[in-house]
Structure 1
Amino acid sequence: MGIAYAANGDTKIAYETFGTAGEPLLLVLGLDYQMVWWHDAFCARLVEAGFHVARYDNRDTGLSTHFPAPAGTSPWRAALGGGRPAYTMADMVGDGLAVMDALGWAGAHVLGGTSAIAQAMALLHPERVRGLTLCMSAPATAGLLGTLRHLKFGIFREIRKLPRATTPQEKVEYLIATYRLQASPGYPFPEEWVREVATLSEQRAPYDPGTTQRHLAAGRATRLPPLSGITAPTLVVSGADDPMVKVSGGRALAAQIPGARFVLYPGVGHDLPEAIWDDMIARMPRAEAPA
């Protein structure tokens, strides 16, 4: 299936699917990244495992609706509460539900990559989430100070050292360099794929630092209930060598969700190397559709 669009009010959400049958599975990414950063081959592997897969561009990314940003707003100011948010986390959750509605899915398994949105979806709309897999994540309900304790700050200093990107090619190189800083040290860096997807991302929608600000502002604009309210069977996946999120983030996330399973992969960073795909997919909770 090619690109299709779902509507959440005036906001258009671009999505695409893999497979034509199987258990519905919605792929949700976090800050900034477009849906093409879900590897096509990973999506195909999920189809082989019996899922009907949908991935989508969050609002403000890729081919979905983009929003203007107030001048001079920094990511930290946005996270701390400066300025009026352009939208809320609840709006972003609604975007994912709009994709499900467009596909006729009453419910779906949700796989979140560094995604507070996936956690929020399971909390705010438990009837729509049949199963939940959370990767590279920490609790989205901890507030700013609680979140900071699970972050490693060295990578942010390294990202700030990267050359400022102004031309399209420089922006592609910036995306590649950023991904390299996050990548799994225990596995080969997928240079060819990263370059291909970084180039595609720039062609679809040039990198906009304001997206980070608006996404962070959306997160602090929605107060979520405790993670203990998640009822979906849940798998939490962390990389032992994640340069951005401490292992404590994944452990805390699993500890707060009733019955959640926690899996730690040695050598894995802030990404999903192909070598762990089959094992991770085999561990994902499967939920039968309600009768």
Structure 2
Amino acid sequence: MREDLDRFAVLPGGTRVCFRVDGPSDGVPVLLVAGLAEDLTTWSDQFVSALAATGFRVIRMDNRDCGRSTYATAPPPNTLRQLLARPRPDSYTLADMADDAAGLIEHLGVGPVHLIGRSMGGMIAQTVAARRPELVTTLTSMYSTTGDTKVGQPALSTWALICAPPPSDRVGAVRAHLRMTAHLAGTAYPLDETEETEHATTTWDRTAGDAVAGTSRQLQAIQASGDRTDELVTITAPTLVINGDRDRIVAPSGGVATAAAIPGARHVIIPGMGHHLPDALALRIADLVVAHLERVMAR
């Protein structure tokens, strides 16, 4: 674990955000926002390296309640609340998580940035783009959705894995990660067990708080934020929406709805891709993202 690469920013509200920076110090800034229960190391090294090699300054962050960023003190929702999508009154929301991302951009003095989010991170990135347009040059939303419960819903087979008892040690965490990733990986890009074992081990070792409670609170934030379609309509940043056609946790309809809501959004559906960004797919996705960023920068 390369903790020496981690940097920290304490935001005005008191939240401590852990982040890393790759690429040239004078490069055009890109901020990567990860998904539910994903720390900053879950971004494929090949994806990060491809962006950095193109000349971008790549910033990755741990969301609150994950990795080495601040963990909330409020109790997590119980299972019944989660199943019924009834958040606790003291829950935070995607808007609060978007404030963290915006706060990091302002702390580093790098705005506006090219903003890239995946899954829950896509929801956070969408919220930043809608509420703080001055901080966003472009938006890329990967296998994410709008919050409308009529689209982007998990398959029934996925719920069984979501509701499984949480792991209590590193070995259990690796097994749970491999089981879920194999389920979500899609048909064209199967699980690389060595790669994913390393990801799961690193994430476990970097976790600075109660991962189970943190994940529950992040999921609660999604539920507390509701349908964000009306907000997505206000986004002005040039937007690229990417998703696969074999996603079992955010159904492809979520990507369709996202692209339909954001004015002028370009939508790319990758055959055989699930809810995962493995090294085998990293360069293809990086090419799509870099083309999007460079197309806008050339205007």
Partners of 1:78 and 1:215 in 2: how far apart?
14
Task: After superposing the two structures, state which structure 1 stretch, 206-215 or 186-195, moved more.
Answer: 206-215
Equivalent of 1:235 in 227, 230, 240: 240
Task: After superposing the two structures, state which structure 1 stretch, 190-199 or 93-102, moved more.
Answer: 93-102
Task: State the partner residue of 2:167.
Answer: 165
Task: Give the letter aligned to residue 22 of structure 2.
Answer: F
Provide closer, same or farther for how the CA distance between residues 84 and 18 of structure 1 changes in structure 2, counting only shifts above 3 A. same
Partners of 1:59 and 1:237 in 2: how far apart?
24
Equivalent of 1:132 in 139, 143, 147: 139
Partners of 1:207 and 1:42 in 2: how far apart?
28
Q: Equivalent residues in 2 for 1:97-246 (5 A)?
A: 97-114=102-119, 115=121, 116-140=123-147, 142=148, 145-147=149-151, 150-160=153-163, 165-205=167-207, 208-222=211-225, 224=228, 225-246=230-251
Partners of 2:192 and 2:70 in 1: how far apart?
30
SS in 1 for 2:277: coil
Task: State the partner residue of 2:67.
Answer: 62
Q: Between Structure 1 and Structure 2, how many residues are aligned?
A: 285
Provide closer, same or farther for how the CA distance between residues 203 and 273 of structure 1 changes in structure 2, counting only shifts above 3 A. closer
Equivalent of 2:18 in 14, 34, 53: 14
Task: After superposing the two structures, state which structure 1 stretch, 165-174 or 131-140, moved more.
Answer: 165-174
Residues 152-200 of structure 1: CA distance to partner in whole angstroms, max 9, x if unpaired?
Answer: 2221224445x65223321222222222221132124221111111111
Task: State the partner residue of 2:33.
Answer: 28
Provide closer, same or farther for how the CA distance between residues 56 and 71 of structure 1 changes in structure 2, counting only shifts above 3 A. closer
Task: Give the letter aligned to residue 27 of structure 2.
Answer: G
Deviation at 1:72, TM superposition (A): 6.0
Partners of 2:167 and 2:266 in 1: how far apart?
41
Provide closer, same or farther for how the CA distance between residues 274 and 75 of structure 1 changes in structure 2, counting only shifts above 3 A. farther
Native 8 Å contact 1:30 1:117 kept in 2: no
Deviation at 1:211, TM superposition (A): 1.8
Residues 207-254 of structure 1: CA distance to partner in whole angstroms, max 9, x if unpaired?
Answer: 622223212333344575431111011111111111222221111111
Task: State the partner residue of 2:297.
Answer: 288
SS in 1 for 2:52: helix
Partners of 2:216 and 2:189 in 1: how far apart?
31
Provide closer, same or farther for how the CA distance between residues 242 and 193 of structure 1 changes in structure 2, counting only shifts above 3 A. same
Task: Give the letter aligned to residue 216 of structure 2.
Answer: Q
SS in 2 for 1:229: coil
Partners of 1:274 and 1:254 in 2: how far apart?
25
Provide closer, same or farther for how the CA distance between residues 218 and 59 of structure 1 changes in structure 2, counting only shifts above 3 A. same
Deviation at 1:84, TM superposition (A): 1.9
| TM score, norm. by length of structure 1 | 0.88
Native 8 Å contact 1:236 1:250 kept in 2: yes
Native 8 Å contact 1:85 1:221 kept in 2: no
Task: After superposing the two structures, state which structure 1 stretch, 76-85 or 92-101, moved more.
Answer: 76-85
Deviation at 1:3, TM superposition (A): 0.9
Partners of 1:207 and 1:181 in 2: how far apart?
25
Native 8 Å contact 2:166 2:212 kept in 1: no
SS in 1 for 2:139: strand
Task: State the partner residue of 2:271.
Answer: 266
Deviation at 1:104, TM superposition (A): 1.7
Native 8 Å contact 1:230 1:258 kept in 2: yes
Gaps spanning 5+ residues in structure 1: where? none
